[in-house]
Structure 1
């Protein structure tokens, strides 16, 4: 019987012994040396089990391993850092249904473990969205305390505040969380995350329409390392007041989705531009109240901006476009520190669909200033649909056919 925590040398000895021996249950070394012995597979130390699982090529073997005993199941749970719960209707279910990580007989689930260089990722597929995601998450949270990435995306809202609170109570090292389309969640969830998961760097709460800006502000005061935040459709949470809090608390923010948050005005966006200079992707689609002031502030305050969505922002005029074009000129003259005037820098995606007040000269100026913006086939990174007056705007590929070939190469835009 093996007891205690093995040292690195002893762990390597056990590992090498098991790798070399295919017939002996005792795992003796080929030279008959004094290798440690194991009385049974259930006695494998957790560290050794995790090393074995990390090199198993067949994922079904990992599933079988998780069902050997409680110790093995707990060991695998201890090593899981990436968990994704999916209830997509079209999920391909590669293995027979297993109830591995929960004792609830009504949970039909499949467990799939994939290995990375330093961690184990777990994907659980729910059978036909049987309204069990909330209970399943409550059951799993205490077992997976090492989680860093958690995806709870769903087609049909099942999550309740109790599940998010369970995550916050046990998964204190969580860095990335996707709660998109969780319509049933309330401010309780955001308050719980603020207290239990202060290391969050990526949060997707798109479609969570019940959150208030007060709860979001509280979250930003506690989770100051946020770099990616998706608030699309969070009409109550995404307000000017919330954006001011984000600009004050989350200076490392790089990506923000504010799509269809209709109450946002220039006041919120300008504060964001001044407080988040590292912003690289901003979606303002459907923010109908913003004007040129917002774009001018972004052009002046966010030199790393690469993607900007202005769909249906019909108060945007040529002044906004010229401010973007001029920001490129400023960067070439070295007025901004740490900005290199390379072709791949600057805007690579710009959506100005339905911005009907724009004229061709202004948009062409932006297109000329940022060579990565394309109107050519198969690479429409300058989106102008719905603007019939802009049909004469063309990227450089139209003048230099040899560049069109390069445009067909995959884009690595942010």
Structure 2
């Protein structure tokens, strides 16, 4: 395996004297002014720069108004995935980061886009974020039906859910989410490419690869019965059959986008027959479309060393 790519340097901290004259001190800016400046930064920029400047900036970074959304997806998707992401240590750090944001949000967190978190973090999300509308948690090997049941019961405003590559989440969670979240419009339940598992060897733990869900039709039945308002559905490399696809298409008549890439158990005739009643369908990706391997690497995986020695501070403690 090639040597891991070195992380990009953090954004430079502004020089107070250069910005505001020789006698100015950015640490003395009012809280309101700091919030105005910090609100223009991304989640990544917030965590890798201002939090490390001084205590007043750290306090400002924890203001609830800055934490209506927590989005790390852009950095995860920037390049190839690292085997370190699947380690318990990395998972604990992502959990700590997410739990901190949940606490700072004051209940106002509306969108989460992260990877490699666990039930520990999602339990706190369910407890304190009733306004959550977007939950994207790809590649979480320790997110289970237990935390998803709590999300379903307490975050009933969900409109977008991405549980791709979360193999400990079953069709039972789809049933609960569908029953409790009537506004759900987007579901992404993609699986890893089991047709060519060599893509993931040496990165994803072998035991996890072998745990790829087999119950494609059960998941399809749950989607078709309990998520009638879906408009966007991705189930790449699902092992559903023609019967499962019919369940989806009979129950989700509002579908506009349907991604069936890699669903090897489906034929072209199966797809034509099942989707013939979807009057709003505008885009469909079929299993026999050629999909370059690079697509899956760049879409699912990225490389971001979120943490290094500089981040071993109290900001990761609840």
Shared fold, TM over 0.5: yes
- Give the TM-score taking structure 1 as reference length: 0.48
| Aligned position for 1:277 | 253
Q: 1:214 to 1:130 in 2, by over 3 A?
A: closer
Shift of 1:78: 3.2
Shift of 1:253: 1.0
2:221 match: secondary structure: helix
2:153 match: secondary structure: helix
Aligned length: 235
1:142 match: secondary structure: helix
1:177 match: secondary structure: strand
Shift of 1:238: 5.8
| Aligned position for 2:72 | 85
Residue 133 (structure 1) aligned with residue 89 (structure 2): no
| Aligned position for 2:112 | 150
Deviations 1:81-124 (A, max 9, x none): 22123674978xxxxxxxxxxxxxxxxxxxxxxxxxxxxxxxxx
For 1:61 and 1:231, locate their aligned partners in 2 and report how far apart those are by CA, in whole Å: 34
* Structure 1 residues without counterparts, runs of 5 or longer: 1-21, 26-39, 92-127, 313-350, 354-414
Shift of 1:161: 0.8
For 2:98 and 2:187, locate their aligned partners in 1 and report how far apart those are by CA, in whole Å: 22
| Aligned position for 1:231 | 189
Q: Which has the higher helix share?
A: 2
1:289 match: secondary structure: coil
- Give the TM-score taking structure 2 as reference length: 0.61
| Aligned position for 1:246 | 223
Q: 1:84 to 1:53 in 2, by over 3 A?
A: closer
Structure with larger Rg: 1
**Contact between 2:50 and 2:58, CA under 8 Å: does it hold in 1?**
no
| Aligned position for 1:166 | 124
* Structure 2 residues without counterparts, runs of 5 or longer: 1-20, 80-88, 193-211, 292-318
Shift of 1:182: 1.0
Residue 196 (structure 1) aligned with residue 154 (structure 2): yes
Bigger RCO (CA 8 Å, 6+ sep)? 2
For 1:41 and 1:207, locate their aligned partners in 2 and report how far apart those are by CA, in whole Å: 44
Give me the CA root mean square deviation. Answer: 3.8
For 1:55 and 1:308, locate their aligned partners in 2 and report how far apart those are by CA, in whole Å: 36
**Contact between 2:35 and 2:60, CA under 8 Å: does it hold in 1?**
no
Q: 1:88 to 1:71 in 2, by over 3 A?
A: closer
1:198 match: secondary structure: coil
1:179 match: secondary structure: strand
For 1:237 and 1:271, locate their aligned partners in 2 and report how far apart those are by CA, in whole Å: 17
Equivalent positions of 1:394-405 (< 5 A) are none
**Contact between 1:212 and 1:237, CA under 8 Å: does it hold in 2?**
no
Residue 302 (structure 1) aligned with residue 302 (structure 2): no
**Contact between 1:146 and 1:171, CA under 8 Å: does it hold in 2?**
yes
**Contact between 2:72 and 2:114, CA under 8 Å: does it hold in 1?**
yes
Equivalent positions of 1:295-334 (< 5 A) are 295-298=272-275, 300-312=276-288
